[in-house]
Amino acid sequence: MSLLTAAGVSKSFAGIRALDDVGIEVAVGELVGLIGPNGAGKTTFFNCLLGMLRPDEGTVSFDGHDLSRIPTHRRAKLGIGRTFQRIELFGGMSVREHLLVAERAHRGEGRLWKDIVGRGRVTAAERERADAVLDRLGLLADAERPIESLSLGRGRLVEIGRALMTDPRLLLLDEPSSGLDHQETEELSAVLRAVNLDEGVAILLVEHDVAMVRALVSRVFVLDFGTLIASGPTETVFADAGVRRAYLGAES
Amino acid sequence: MLEDFIRSVFQGVPVGAVYALIALGFTLTYKTAGVFNLAFGAQAFVAAAVHWELHVHNGWNVAVSAAIAVLVVSPALGVALDFVLFRHLRAASSGARLVTTIGLLVAIPNITKLVLRFTRHPSTGGARGLFSGPDVVYRPFGDAYPITRDELVQLGVVVVAGLALGAMFRFTHLGLRMRAVVESPRLAELGGVNSARVGSFAWALSSAFAGLAGVLIAPTYQNVDAANFFELVIAGIAAAAFGSLVSLPRAFAGALGLGVASTYLATVLPTNSVLARGLKPSLPFVVLFVWVVIAPGLRGQRDVADPLSGVAPPPPASAADERSRSLTIATRGFWSVVGVIVAWAVFFAINDFWLKRIQVLLAVGVIFLSITVMTGIAGQISLCQAAFAAIGAFATTQLAVEQGMSVLVGMLLGGLVSALVGGLLAMPLVRIGGVWLALATLGFALFFHSVIAQLAVVNGGVSKPRTPRPLIGSIDFAADRAFIVLELVVFAIAATIVVLVRGGTTGRFLAALRGSEVAAASIGIGQWRSRVTAFALSAGLAGLGGGLLASAQQSVNYDVSFSPQVGLFFVVVVVTLGSRSIEGALQAAFGFVLFQPLILERALPWVINHIQPFLHVNAISGLFRDILFGLGALTFAKHPEGILEFQKRRSLNRIQRSIDRRKQQPTEAGSTP
């Protein structure tokens, strides 16, 4: 069953067609990749999926809901989590606080009066849930540390943990391996595989690192110059001559 | 009717032309340095004061004196500001830079007064005009449209300056380089342009524009007073905003339009009505506010970072402190002892003079808690907290005097009214955010000042009503000490609310938004609701504090306690002394109320006179308080938690480290046999 469907998405900037009739589908519990060389329109497409940009044409729907009129912050409540290419964390908070605030936000309990009568504090149950996720990501030892003291790789795991606290059914990951070394990329891949298998969270991986994508996903879409040039099972796509050309130039 | 309009054009264009100078200069620094320079009015004031001193006081020739003020003093000031401050703040947030300019706005006029021994001098205006001798009136278009020599000079100078600026941008090498820097500083640097030097030049130029405007407009004021120049700048900013802070020609047109419109408004509205008296001076603020809210170009426009700044990492946040139990107990013990001593002094030792000040201090402390919410928790700069406090003060007084309501209930209702106003005000504003939000709140504060606060329904008319003290059952809080107890209770409740909100859902959502808006949105936190809530809560606390202050002083001292300038000073004091904590708010209230009478006028002179026999010091001028806090706000970019908080934390950490070291030594000694 299809969870995320983008159909006929087009977007132009000042006459330049950044996306031209791009359509993808992600099924429930699927691990899918979206790759493409620099400037292919990956980030533009990603932003269209999340409502940071409004597509000129085409629709994006999630679980049968048309997303075009839903503001970015409501999409999280529908079950879409995300991470950022340039890491976005909450300065001044500890690692655990990142997860706690995400869980609160997901439950939608933001009433001022509750805070004023003293019912806004962190409960033991919330802490337990946050620690369970931290444990799975291998971050439990860092729970109390201020976020600024973490390495980029760990920070990205915190982003994933934060997204997981909102009980997503789909995770959109924007180039999660950028800036990570080989070891960190391996760890990240392992975490993503586990999240996908254990909880059935569908993942759309927008990536640059072909090796990571190849090792991880079952199906892949390839963008080049704003159009979808290939899609299908990973190995079939990578065998495709057009894809090789887009990635490796005329050399092959 | 038409005649009225044409006459307004004749009278309004010269005024608008001076606004245009401000708008041009303001746009210049915004574009080339990314600094939203609220201190621009202070720069204009410096030039006007220097000119007054040389020309009027010492009888120098007009041209020489004006040239020194505009061409020497002003550019030097601009370059100095760039050199000492703004060039180092490139990586700072736009909010931090805004606070810096507010600090300057407070500090510079007071430093000028101190240096020139300058107080509110009557301006050269009235009988004198720009030149010595009476102004000359020309009637080239008939008696209906007189135009004075001053106005002609204003117009002429502005036209020349505007054309020169345009020509410089278009035809000179320097202008080309400036445009390159505005377009892309990185690229300009790669092309061999020294963008720092271009930036300095822009500061000098814009400061000269400020000085020119100051010298030209000074004669139209009653006094050469910093407040007048501040309002002048608001008009200039409104015009600049009309050009979306990018287009110089549109800013120019906006300024002229504003000048004509405010003159025309004065002729059309019935004379001596509140509207006529209030709306004419407040038109720029209204225009500014409305324009910020509706302008399509400004909506969604992110704050412009300094174009010269690279991708610099944000300043590292202070690491979480780990203190041993004994140190915590020791500091708590210390403060408990201090508290007991203060309590003993308040209830048994001190006289009326100090009792009155303690009452003010506690009420101001509640008002300052509203800034803790706004700036410390929500991370926004609001410049209308004094107006919110005034709403509470007026409401409390009116409800108690006119409706015969209990004062305490009046205070609570006053707080609610203020919260409502704050929430409504925030609704269109919070999406805009940042510097624009600060500016719109300033527009509101000035509008409130010149229109709402003048209404008899609000201020109770000429017979200023006395705000009563509360009476609960048989307990009368008319006595000062009883009232202090009541204030302590109110402060404690307000502080508890702030702490609960900070640690609760709302506070943590706001902290997340402060950290990263996009990331907050990605987990489902919408900024609108959280920030409107913060605004309403903050306004409510300010209103409550305002009511308390009115009751403490038994009247609403609007000009002394609630005017927009006081509101700016509130922000400056709180961000200097600590905007993140309850302690910070109390320290700020202490600084605001007691620093002058206790430290400057008594403690410091006593110390100075006792440690050395040569120099005898009487009370130190209150100007120093304003200068000190104004300059203190300059540290905001580096220490957003407040410089005092920072120092306190650092010294506590130092003590902790020395304790740790002492503990380690014996174990090391024990391990080596």
Residues B404-413 have pLDDT tens digits of 888 999 999 9
pLDDT at B296: 59
Q: Whole-number mean pLDDT of chain B?
A: 84
Instruction: Check the CA dihedral B578-B579-B581-B584 and report its sign.
Output: positive
DSSP states along B386-433 = HHHHHHHHHHHHHHHHTS---HHHHHHHHHHHHHHHHHHHHHHHTTT-
**CATH number at B357-604:** 1.10.3470
Query: Model confidence at B670, in pLDDT bands (50, 70, 90)?
Result: very low
Query: Model confidence at B153, in pLDDT bands (50, 70, 90)?
Result: confident
Q: What is the mean pLDDT of residues B30-39?
A: 83
**Number of H-type helices and E-type strands within chain B:** 28, 6
- Taking CB atoms and an 8 Å limit, are B525 and A88 in contact across chains? no
Alpha carbon distance B577, B335 (integer Å)? 18
* pLDDT beyond 90 at B238: no
Contact call for residues B411 and B556 (beta carbons, < 8 A):
no
* pLDDT beyond 70 at B63: yes
The structure tokens listed for A247 are: 């990635």
pLDDT at A125: 92
How distant is the Cα of B427 from the closest Cα of chain A, in angstroms?
17
Pick from B200, B312, B220: which is nearest to B14 by CA?
Answer: B220
Contact call for residues B314 and A91 (beta carbons, < 8 A):
yes
Do β-strands A31-35 and A219-224 pair in parallel, antiparallel, or remain unpaired?
parallel
* pLDDT beyond 60 at B174: yes
Q: Hey, what amino acid is at A243?
A: V
* CATH topology identical between B2-123+151-298 and B357-604: yes
- Taking CB atoms and an 8 Å limit, are B518 and A92 in contact across chains? no
Alpha carbon distance B294, B428 (integer Å)? 9
Q: What is the mean pLDDT of residues A170-182?
A: 90
Alpha carbon distance B34, B20 (integer Å)? 19
pLDDT at A53: 86
- Taking CB atoms and an 8 Å limit, are B519 and A110 in contact across chains? no
> What burial class does residue B485 get, using C-beta atoms within 10 Å of its C-beta: 0-12 exposed, 13-18 middle, 19+ buried?
middle
**Candidate CATH numbers 1.10.3720, 3.40.50, 1.10.3470, 1.10.1060; the one for domain B2-123+151-298:** 1.10.3470
Query: Model confidence at B383, in pLDDT bands (50, 70, 90)?
Result: very high
Which residue has better confidence, B120 or A36?
Answer: A36
How distant is the Cα of B319 from the closest Cα of chain A, in angstroms?
7
Extents of the domains making up chain B = 2-123+151-298, 357-604
The structure tokens listed for B514 are: 């402060």
Q: Which residue of B has its CA nearest to A158?
A: B519
Alpha carbon distance A171, B587 (integer Å)? 47
Which residue has better confidence, B358 or B350?
Answer: B358
3-state secondary structure of B445: helix
Q: Tokens 């299809």 map to which residue?
A: A2
Q: E-assigned strands of B198-276?
A: 223-224
- CB-nearest to A91 from B317, B501, B508 is B317
Contact call for residues A81 and A135 (beta carbons, < 8 A):
no
pLDDT per position as a tens digit, B228-237: 888 888 888 8
The interface predicted TM-score (ipTM) is 0.92
Name residue A59's beta-bridge partners: A7
pLDDT per position as a tens digit, B283-292: 888 888 888 7
Q: Which residues of A touch B519 (CB under 8 A)?
A: 84, 88-90, 159, 162
8-state DSSP, A29: T
Q: Hey, what amino acid is at B350?
A: I
Query: Model confidence at B673, in pLDDT bands (50, 70, 90)?
Result: very low
Mutate to test the interface with A, among B369, B493, B505 (most CBs of A within 10 A): B505
- The alpha-helical segments, DSSP class H, found in B88-135 are 94-116
Instruction: Check the CA dihedral B257-B258-B264-B269 and report its sign.
Output: positive
